[in-house]
């Protein structure tokens, strides 16, 4: 591909977000290769803190109207400008066809945001690239059509599994190229298009931000009530993360084992999970920390004795891809238990680099928890093997090479 000659707009649903560090680290790495990025966010930030990588990103940010009624004059000005663009009629036709199949306020909002985006981005823009196939993908696609620009996107998890196949097919056909973060996702998307434009690009982990944990962990086995074993999980309190199953599994642990559970992450189910912990009579052992900055999360990975993620497929079809938190935990030599679902088996090899448990199986999860709580030597072995796998196969560089090629930066990557 030819070298990029001008700025590229990255269209995101929200920025900055603590739960989307993988996007921030990608933007920063591409900036270091010389890509001129402009961030376009459909929503204003809601997290109270940011990660260090957010402060290192130089890209200016354009916030679109989150709801059209909040900035009607801006939307009107966007329409007045966009309707004179050569691709406006084609974009309106595609949007109206989409609206007939998806008669929701969200579909109308996407077109209004696309009008503002097409009107306000610089004339020098060379590409629109969306992170997430669903809402950001629609806004970027409509605006790219209006401006006559190439359009590409990165697909992740929820965005793939919660939109209909007709929408996926049409976006895949319209895109110049597509990357996605797991082999399963890549196979699924490739089956919906004959273009051959879908590539696998693991997010990878910026290992410079996750240096090896110094020293060895204490060999706790859950027998000392004054030194309980710390179980950690990091993830949003949403259905697909399975925290209700995890709490049920914890409640079934033998009373002779002494542990405490720390959860990091915000989410719509946080209040109900606190209530469930009370109902299960384990609230005194459970600590809900909310969303935390990366430095604080790193320290918790180092302090913890065991990491657990009980992912599942939500009723909506939403599911995990390959959760970065598992790579982060393993980078700190922390033994991991996770569900045998989504792309998690692409990272964790059962009984070699960690343990996999069928989703939705609270008793099975409890049994594995009890086994690893009582066996510090086995935890240490899984932790060491997991760290070796992450540091050799899941660093940032491999995925970055694929993106650099797509953005026309191959020559700059070779020079690094």
Q: How far apart are CA 62 and CA 10, in angstroms?
A: 10
Q: What stretch of H or E contains 311?
A: none
CA-closest candidate to residue 204, choices 324, 51, 343, 319: 324
Whole-Å CA distances, 133 to 80, 88, 136, 164: 27, 21, 6, 11
Residue listed under structure tokens 């694929």: 402
Omega within 30 of 0 (cis) for the link into 259: no
CATH of 8-204+395-415 given 1.10.10.10, 3.40.50.800, 1.20.120.330, 3.40.50.2000: 3.40.50.2000
Domain boundaries, the chain: 8-204+395-415, 229-393
Name the H helices within 162-316.
165-174, 183-190, 243-251, 270-279, 294-303
Same fold, 8-204+395-415 and 229-393: yes
- Could you tell me the two tokens for 333? 């030599």
Q: How far apart are CA 248 and CA 43, in angstroms?
A: 35
Whole-Å CA distances, 148 to 120, 140, 172, 180: 14, 12, 17, 24
* Residue 285, pLDDT score: 98
DSSP 35-73: --EEEEESS----S---HHHHH----EEEPPSSGGGSHH
Supply the pTM of this predicted model: 0.82
Domain 229-393 = CATH 3.40.50.10170:
no
Residue listed under structure tokens 């196979």: 187
Q: How far apart are CA 288 and CA 243, in angstroms?
A: 12
Whole-Å CA distances, 348 to 17, 135, 233, 342, 345: 26, 31, 16, 12, 5
Bridge partners (DSSP) of residue 9 are 38, 128
Q: List strands edge to edge, sheet with 229-234.
A: 286-288, 259-264, 229-234, 306-309, 336-339, 355-357
* pLDDT of the chain, 416 residues: tens digit per residue: 445 568 999 999 999 998 888 899 999 999 999 999 999 999 999 888 788 899 999 999 999 999 999 999 999 999 999 999 999 999 999 999 999 999 999 999 999 999 999 999 999 999 999 999 999 999 999 999 999 999 999 999 889 999 999 999 999 999 999 999 999 999 999 999 998 999 999 988 989 999 999 999 999 999 999 999 999 999 999 999 999 999 999 999 999 999 999 999 999 999 999 999 999 999 999 999 999 988 999 999 999 999 999 999 999 998 898 999 999 999 999 999 999 998 999 999 999 999 999 999 999 999 999 999 999 999 999 999 999 999 999 988 878 889 999 999 876 665 55
In this structure, the dihedral spanned by the alpha carbons of residues 202, 208, 214 and 218, taken in order and rounded to 10 degrees, is -30
Helix and strand counts by DSSP (H, E) for the chain = 17, 13
CA-closest candidate to residue 164, choices 256, 214, 101, 246: 101
């Amino acid at each position: 591909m030819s070298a990029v000659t001008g700025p590229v707009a990255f269209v995101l649903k929200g920025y900055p977000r603590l739960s989307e560090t993988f996007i921030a680290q990608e933007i920063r790495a591409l900036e270091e290769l010389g890509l001129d990025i402009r961030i376009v966010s459909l929503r204003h930030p809601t997290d109270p803190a940011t990660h260090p990588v957010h402060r290192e990103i130089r890209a200016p940010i354009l916030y679109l109207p989150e709801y059209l009624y909040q900035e009607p004059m801006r939307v009107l000005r966007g329409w007045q400008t966009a309707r004179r663009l050569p691709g406006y009629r084609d974009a309106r036709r595609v949007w109206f066809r989409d609206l007939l199949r998806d008669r929701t306020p969200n579909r109308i909002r996407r077109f209004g945001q696309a009008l503002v985006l097409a009107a306000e981005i610089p004339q020098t823009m060379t590409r629109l690239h969306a992170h997430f196939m669903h809402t950001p993908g629609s806004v970027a696609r409509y605006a790219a059509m209006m401006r006559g620009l190439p359009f590409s996107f990165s697909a992740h998890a929820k965005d793939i599994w919660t939109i209909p196949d007709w929408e996926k097919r049409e976006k895949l056909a319209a895109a110049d190229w597509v990357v996605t973060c797991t082999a399963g996702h890549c196979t699924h998307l490739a089956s919906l298009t004959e273009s051959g434009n879908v590539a696998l690009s693991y997010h990878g982990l910026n290992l410079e931000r996750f240096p090896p944990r110094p020293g060895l962990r204490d060999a706790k086995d859950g027998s000392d009530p004054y030194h309980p074993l710390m179980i950690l999980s990091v993830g949003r309190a949403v259905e697909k993360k399975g925290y209700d199953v995890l709490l049920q599994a914890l409640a079934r642990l033998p009373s002779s084992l002494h542990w405490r559970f720390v959860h990091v992450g915000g989410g719509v189910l946080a209040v109900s999970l606190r209530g469930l912990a009370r109902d299960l009579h384990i609230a005194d052992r459970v600590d809900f920390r909310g969303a935390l900055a990366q430095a604080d999360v790193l320290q918790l990975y180092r302090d913890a004795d065991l990491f657990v993620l009980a992912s599942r497929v939500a009723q909506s079809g939403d599911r995990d891809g390959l959760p970065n938190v598992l790579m982060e935990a393993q980078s700190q030599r922390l033994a991991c238990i996770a569900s045998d679902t989504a792309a998690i088996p692409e990272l964790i090899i059962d009984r070699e680099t960690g343990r996999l448990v069928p989703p939705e199986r609270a008793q099975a999860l409890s049994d594995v928890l009890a086994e690893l709580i009582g066996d510090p030597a086995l935890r240490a072995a899984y932790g060491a093997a997991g760290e070796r796998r992450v540091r050799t196969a899941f660093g940032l560089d491999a995925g970055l090479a694929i993106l650099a090629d797509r953005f026309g930066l191959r020559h700059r990557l070779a020079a690094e």
